[in-house]
Amino acid sequence: MPLDDRYQLAFRLYPYARSADQDTDRPVRHPVVVMGGGPVGIAMALDLGLQGIPVVLLDDHEGVGQGSRAICFAKRTLEIAHRYGCGRPMLDNGVLWNVGKVFHDDRQIYEFDLLPEDGHRNPAFINLQQPHFERFLVERVREAQAAGAPIALRGKNRIDAVAVRDDHVVIDITTPDGPYRIEADWLIGCDGASSPLRKMMGLDFEGRVFQDNFLIADITMKADFPTERWFWFEPHFKSGDSALLHKQPDGVWRIDFQLGWDIDRKEEMKEENIRRRLDAMLGPDVEYELVWTSIYTFQCRRMRNFRHGRVIFAGDAAHQVSPFGARGANSGIQDVDNLGWKLGLVLNGTAPESLLDSYDLERRHGADENILNSSRSTDFITPKSKISRAFRNAVLDLAEHHAFARPLVNSGRLSVPCVYDGLPLNTPDGLPGGPARTRPGAPCPDAPIGGGFLLDHLGWDFALLGVGVDVPDRFDAEGLTLRGLTVPAEGDIKDRYLGDTTCAVYLIRPDQHVAGRWPAFDAERVSAALARSMGKD
Amino acid sequence: MFLNTLPNITDPDGFYAELLGVHEGLSDEDSIALNARLVLILANHIGDRAILTEALAVATKGGAK
Ligand SMILES: Cc1cc2nc3c(=O)[nH]c(=O)nc-3n(C[C@H](O)[C@H](O)[C@H](O)COP(=O)(O)OP(=O)(O)OC[C@H]3O[C@@H](n4cnc5c(N)ncnc54)[C@H](O)[C@@H]3O)c2cc1C
């Protein structure tokens, strides 16, 4: 197969350059190879590289793809990006929004405010074009490389075959200079929804295809729609069964039209037909330019297992959701957050290899939650029978005047990080009366401390947090040194970490999830909980 | 609490006539829409998730033993 681009590039960020690995007699062995340079692959390389773990990323293109995909990035993603050192440009360039309006036909039936809670560094959501999100990640990789992080990005390096052995993977690569071979102790498959790696390994990817087509049009226009998310069911302008309007940076607007299942794609993609729909929606006087258009169908599915020996899948390669709720890229970044520290501890010999099975368990749990939510949204937006349409329209009909029906309106349940409830790395809750939102398995909510934010002090390593009670500054256990942070019991921290109790000690994982919590510091309990979260049980 | 399947409506014949009355003259489609609204309104009034599940099970089973 020739090495042609499958898509247009927005930014050419890692042009092909011959590597020394192409001139050796024996294949060079690397600790970690990442397949695919989408948002998930780049974040993976960044996470490992910043830990000092040598990582080689191979992508079959030379940069970030053009085209409109993700635009909504959630708070948890921004928190993780902040930990990687690239949250700032995302925030500075993203569009902040909080208000959503839902219309049925020509009536507004419902309005919501994401009501962002105070005392967090990051907003609930920003809108930012995916190519920019990816560019900021790559720019951070360049910065990290300059500071010595052992990351290699190899563009125009397509993986064509793998041989999976018990303790390594043999990888065959095609480049503009011809083929070469390398080996990896670990291969991370971040090669997207149609993952060639999955196919090479003959692995399943099961779930539901939704019988619907969505036309996505990104346009620039001079119109003063507010910075809100507007969603129409059965819109009066008849441009689709549903429609979505959402603002992006640089005066670009995302518009979605639901076209139905039986359509002539070629006909629908003609500019005059796209413009006919847009004109009906925007009115005759609005001038606009088409930036990008495309037709998508959506699926919700996942691999049965994300870990297959020395090969681990992450992002769309492992699970795919419909975009309602913005759970695709946002959940892929949480995969990376979860896998990074575990692989780090396994590679440096501190934790057993079985710790990686907890990645499989925890992120399948996350994927199931995302699939459940986005399937339900899709079922509401695309009723699949006469009766489901009748109930859907009954909800919409009642929602305008009856508050009870509004929580049933589902135009997408927006991405929130999942809580690893009941999974083996957690130590059962030892803090009676503690808030539910900080129970073991939950991601730590941010809170202001001393002019900065709590999450700035957590992450990368295991940490101890003492709220209203002292924890040691350093604590050695299980081959690790834990940092201790003692903070006064006041303000948002008190609400979020103490609830009805007066003091608490939290053991926090390197991905900022709670591993265990107690009323006071107890070295033995903390050590046992630590061992457990390192997969030693 | 559990689903009350014993007689509980004070004026059964009157209620039944009123139920049919609101459907009078409606097309099948409009009747289906009305029933859907009614189900949602009553379900919200009950609220209790366990009772709703029980009701759905009883309705699904219908007359079958
Ligand atoms: C219309 C639409 C709207 C969306 N909106 C949102 C949203 O608002 N928020 C959100 O979070 N998500 C959204 N998503 C989902 C989001 O775009 C994806 O979840 C995200 O791109 C997945 O990232 P990834 O890195 O896993 O895969 P991809 O971005 O698909 O990257 C895979 C990479 O692997 C490379 N590759 C493939 N094969 C090989 C090979 N053989 N060798 C080397 N490299 C290879 C590819 O070239 C590519 O660079 C949306 C998706 C769509 C379609």
Of all residues in chain B, the one with the smallest CA distance to A405 is B40
Is A469 contained in some domain?
A: yes
pLDDT mean over A162-184: 97
Portion 173-202 of A in contact with B at CB < 8 A: none
Is A375 contained in some domain?
A: no
Q: Give Cα separations from B30 to A110, A296, B23, B24 (angstroms).
A: 23, 33, 8, 10
Is B52 contained in some domain?
A: yes
Q: Which positions ≥6 away from A486 have C-beta within 8 Å?
A: A466, A469, A470, A471
| Residue numbers of the domain that contains A524 | 436-533
**Could you give the CA distance from residue A41 to residue A393 in angstroms, rounded to a whole number?**
41
- Identify the residue whose C-alpha is closest to ligand 1 atom 30: A192
Is B33 contained in some domain?
A: yes
What total number of domains does chain A contain?
A: 1
Is A187 contained in some domain?
A: no
pLDDT tens string A439-474: 999 999 999 998 899 999 999 999 999 999 999 999
pLDDT tens string B53-64: 999 999 999 887
Mean pLDDT of chain A: 95
pLDDT mean over A29-38: 98
pLDDT tens string A374-411: 999 989 999 989 999 999 999 999 999 999 999 999 99
- Res A117: pLDDT: 86
ipTM (interface pTM): 0.96
pLDDT mean over A338-351: 97
pTM over 0.90: yes
Element (H, E) at A358: helix A355-381
Is A393 contained in some domain?
A: no
Is A176 contained in some domain?
A: no
Name chain B contacts of A398, Cβ cutoff 8 Å.
Answer: 37, 40-41
Is A121 contained in some domain?
A: no
A527 Cβ under 8 Å from any chain B Cβ: no
Portion 404-463 of A in contact with B at CB < 8 A: 404-405, 408
- Res B65: pLDDT: 59
- Res A285: pLDDT: 86
Is B47 contained in some domain?
A: yes
Flag whether pLDDT at A496 surpasses 80: yes
**Structure token pair of residue A76:** 């948890």
Q: 3-state class of A518 per DSSP?
A: strand
pLDDT mean over A211-230: 90
- Res A39: pLDDT: 97
| Residue numbers of the domain that contains B59 | 27-65
A387 Cβ under 8 Å from any chain B Cβ: yes
Flag whether pLDDT at A67 surpasses 80: no
Ligand 1 geometric centre to CA of A381 (Å): 23
Flag whether pLDDT at A537 surpasses 80: no
DSSP character string of A141-181:
HHHHHHTT--EEEETT-EEEEEEE-SS-EEEEEEETTEEEE
Least confident of A99-108, A114-123, A356-365: A114-123
Flag whether pLDDT at B1 surpasses 70: no
Flag whether pLDDT at A55 surpasses 70: yes
- Res A116: pLDDT: 79
- Beta A9-11 vs A474-477: how paired, if at all? unpaired
The CATH number for A448's domain is 3.40.30.120
- Res A450: pLDDT: 87
Q: Which amino acid is at A110?
A: Y
- Res A476: pLDDT: 97
A393 Cβ under 8 Å from any chain B Cβ: yes
Residues with CB under 6 Å of ligand 1 are: A 35-41, 58-61, 69-72, 130, 158-159, 190-192, 196, 216, 296, 315-317, 323, 326, 328-330, 332
Is B16 contained in some domain?
A: no
pLDDT tens string A259-311: 999 999 999 999 999 999 999 999 888 999 999 999 998 889 999 999 999 99
What total number of domains does chain B contain?
A: 1
